[in-house]
């Protein structure tokens, strides 16, 4: 039988985009979700050549829209 915490951990790693393997879910259960997420976010980018090879995206500024609709001149 699978524990509720393991199922929730598997959901976390799948939803967060870390790749939902059983080993990762086990790690979340062992470490606790907050500690696992912090460790995952501090990972060395040198371990992922794709992260250093991918250019940072440039986003265009979008006009602000109020609840009443677009401001004048837009």
Write out the chain's pLDDT in tens, 74 residues: 468 888 888 888 887 776 678 888 888 889 988 898 888 887 776 777 777 788 888 888 888 887 776 555 55
Domain hosting 10: range is: 1-42
Collapsed DSSP state (helix, strand, coil) of residue 52: helix
Tell me the H-state helices in the chain.
4-15, 22-31, 33-41, 49-53
Q: How many domains, the chain?
A: 1
Does 28 fall in a domain?
yes
* The model's pTM: 0.50
- Look at the alpha carbons of 12, 14, 15, 17 in this order and tell me if their dihedral is positive or negative: positive
Residue 21 lies in a domain: yes
Asked if residue 11 is part of any domain, the answer here is yes
**What distance in Å separates the CA atoms of residue 18 and residue 12, rounded to the nearest whole number?**
9
For residue 47, being part of any structural domain is answered with no
Which residues 6+ apart lie within 8 Å of 19 measured at CB? Answer: 13
């Amino acid at each position: 039988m699978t524990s509720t915490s393991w199922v929730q951990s598997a959901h976390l790693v799948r939803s967060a985009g870390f790749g939902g393997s059983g080993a990762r879910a086990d790690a979340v259960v062992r470490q606790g979700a907050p500690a696992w997420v912090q460790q995952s976010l501090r990972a060395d980018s040198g371990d992922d050549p794709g992260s250093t090879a991918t250019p940072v995206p440039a986003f265009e500024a979008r006009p602000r829209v109020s609840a009443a609709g677009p401001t004048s001149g837009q």
